[in-house]
């Protein structure tokens, strides 16, 4: 049995196909994971380390002054750094004091990471501004950095870094040692077994990170208009960035309200789908699920007061899912009858609910055949998934 009491999807032959494609113009791989038939890839790229010209990123002169490390010598061939203490996150690595320039933030709705405790920091160079000419897809200045720290059971496990330099984004993961005295670059991922009462946890590979992040025009998730404009956002928000003059122009709004569909339950469900599914399920040309036309990304252009979006039914999240048939056959319903993505009042019959609430059995790798997201995660987000099911049950 899978999560939430649903039968294992492999028994029902519901296969969520994933295809990895090479995007020639961008020179980066992207993944397509969907409930629809997979499109034939033009080329296949195997998982592996990325390549980049040297000197993409130069560490700040005052980085981790108490670590004793020669940070200039720490720069690797691709321009990233081998050790976290040289990235500029900490003013004192020994005491884990975060630099004042690294601003903490929490998106209005967080991506599920198997229960890990997360902290995030955002850095913009002095005087630099975010280009919001396209308010749906921000363009960040060179020198932008984002860190995300993951703790399991109160213990630091990994810290991820995204940095933009020379008009290109680079990223890596730093794995903490058991004593939390060092964090060293690790691009090939790691699966942490159960231990000391802790659940299993997986550090993704660099390639796995691309699966989600390359679904946006610039591969930044969480730092965008809707996530920072919801009233539950903390730290760096749409309002604080506007007040500090960090945008190329005044934003059309500094707050967002997600419309309801008459159920009274739509807004939190749409927000959860936005954070957890929208990176792939959107209309950007590099998004993995573009060809499904199943879109969960909440675009500011649909939420702004002058967009004419009066109700939840006007959002892509509603129009592309409720009552829309997938190409997946439902063997319990009869030959030739396919699953519906969202069936009003019936979460157990809705493919979106089934896949997001299911996980591979213990000892098996996460797979697109049985779950969404199809990689890394090993435990369903029970609270977030309840928001989804509460909405489906209440759809008028």
pLDDT tens digits, one per residue of 352-395: 999 999 998 877 888 777 899 988 898 999 999 999 999 999 99
- Please give the pLDDT value at position 20: 27
- Please give the pLDDT value at position 67: 74
Higher pLDDT, 105 or 214: 105
Region 68-92: what's the mean pLDDT? 90
- Please give the pLDDT value at position 63: 56
Region 295-306: what's the mean pLDDT? 92
Region 316-345: what's the mean pLDDT? 90
CA–CA separation, 170 and 146 (whole Å): 11
Tell me: pLDDT of 47 over 70: no
CA–CA separation, 374 and 102 (whole Å): 32
**Average pLDDT score, the chain:** 83
- Please give the pLDDT value at position 194: 64
pLDDT confidence bin for 65, thresholds 50/70/90: low
- Please give the pLDDT value at position 288: 87
**Through-space distance between the first and last CA atoms of the chain, rounded to whole angstroms:** 31
Tell me: pLDDT of 333 over 60: yes
Predicted TM-score (pTM) of this structure: 0.85
Tell me: pLDDT of 38 over 80: no
Which residue, among 211, 172, 187, has the nearest Cα to 366 in the 3D structure?
211
Tell me: pLDDT of 199 over 90: no
pLDDT confidence bin for 192, thresholds 50/70/90: confident
Region 59-69: what's the mean pLDDT? 63
Tell me: pLDDT of 284 over 90: yes
127-136, 154-163, 179-188, 333-342: least confidently modelled range: 333-342
- Please give the pLDDT value at position 4: 28
- Please give the pLDDT value at position 230: 97
Region 332-360: what's the mean pLDDT? 92
Tell me: pLDDT of 92 over 70: yes
pLDDT confidence bin for 11, thresholds 50/70/90: very low
Tell me: pLDDT of 31 over 60: no
Tell me: pLDDT of 24 over 50: no
**Contact, 303 vs 251, CB < 8 A?**
no
pLDDT confidence bin for 203, thresholds 50/70/90: very high
Tell me: pLDDT of 140 over 80: yes
- Please give the pLDDT value at position 305: 77
pLDDT confidence bin for 217, thresholds 50/70/90: very high
pLDDT confidence bin for 197, thresholds 50/70/90: low
Percent of the residues in the chain that have a pLDDT greater than 70, as a whole number: 82
Tell me: pLDDT of 263 over 50: yes
């Amino acid at each position: 049995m899978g999560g939430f009491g649903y039968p294992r999807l492999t028994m029902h032959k519901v296969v969520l196909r994933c295809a990895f494609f090479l995007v020639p113009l961008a020179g980066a791989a992207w993944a397509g994971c969907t409930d629809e038939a997979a499109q034939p890839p033009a080329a296949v790229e195997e998982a592996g380390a990325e390549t980049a010209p040297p000197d993409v990123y130069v560490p700040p002169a005052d980085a981790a002054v108490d670590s004793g490390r020669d940070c200039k010598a720490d720069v690797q061939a691709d321009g990233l750094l081998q050790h976290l203490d040289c990235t500029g996150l900490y003013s004192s690595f020994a005491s884990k004091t975060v630099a004042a320039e690294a601003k903490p933030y929490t998106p209005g709705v967080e991506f599920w990471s198997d229960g890990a405790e997360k902290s995030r920091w955002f850095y913009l160079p002095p005087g630099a501004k975010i280009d919001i000419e396209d308010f749906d897809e921000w363009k960040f200045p060179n020198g932008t950095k984002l860190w995300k720290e993951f703790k399991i059971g109160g213990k630091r496990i990994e810290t991820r870094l995204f940095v933009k330099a020379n008009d290109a984004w680079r990223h890596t993961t730093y794995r903490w040692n058991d004593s939390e005295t060092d964090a060293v670059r690790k691009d090939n991922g790691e699966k942490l077994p159960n231990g000391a009462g802790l659940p299993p946890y997986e550090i993704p590979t660099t390639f796995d990170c691309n699966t989600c992040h390359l679904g946006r025009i610039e591969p930044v998730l969480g730092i965008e208009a809707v996530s920072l404009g919801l009233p539950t956002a903390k730290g760096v928000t749409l309002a604080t960035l506007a007040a500090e003059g960090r945008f190329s122009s005044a934003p059309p709004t500094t707050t967002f309200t997600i419309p309801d569909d008459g159920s009274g339950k739509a807004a939190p469900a749409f927000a959860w789908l936005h954070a957890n599914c929208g990176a792939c399920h959107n209309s950007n040309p590099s998004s993995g699920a573009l060809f499904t036309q199943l879109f969960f990304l909440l675009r500011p252009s649909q939420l702004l007061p002058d967009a004419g979006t009066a109700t939840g039914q006007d959002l892509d999240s509603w129009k592309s899912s409720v009552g829309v048939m997938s190409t997946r056959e439902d063997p319990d319903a009869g030959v030739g009858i396919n699953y519906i993505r969202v069936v009003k009042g019936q979460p157990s019959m809705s493919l979106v609910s089934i896949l997001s609430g299911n996980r591979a059995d213990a000892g098996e790798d996460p797979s697109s055949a049985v779950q969404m997201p199809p990689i890394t995660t090993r435990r369903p987000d029970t609270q977030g998934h309840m928001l989804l099911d509460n909405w489906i049950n209440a759809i008028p």
